[in-house]
Amino acid sequence: MQNVSFGSVEEFLDYLPQDELEITLYLRKLILECFPNCTEKLSYNVPFYKRYSNVCFIWPASVLWGKKKTYEGVRLGFTKGYLLQDEIGFLSKENRKQVYWRDFKKLSEIDADLVKSYLFEAITIDELSKKQN
User: Tell me, which fold does domain 9-132 have in CATH?
Assistant: Aspartate Aminotransferase, domain 1 (3.90.1150)
Beta strands in 5-128 (DSSP E): 39-43, 46-50, 54-60, 74-78, 100-104
pLDDT of residue 129: 85
Q: Where are the domains of the chain?
A: 9-132
* Residue 7 DSSP class: S
Q: pLDDT digits over 101-130, tens only? A: 999 999 999 999 999 999 999 999 999 988
Grade residue 58 by pLDDT with cuts at 50, 70 and 90.
very high
Grade residue 1 by pLDDT with cuts at 50, 70 and 90.
low
Q: Say what the pTM is.
A: 0.93
Mean pLDDT, to the nearest integer, of 57-76? 88
What's the gap between Cα 66 and its chain centre? 18
Mean pLDDT, to the nearest integer, of 49-77? 90
Return the sign of the alpha-carbon dihedral for residues 82, 88, 90, 95: positive
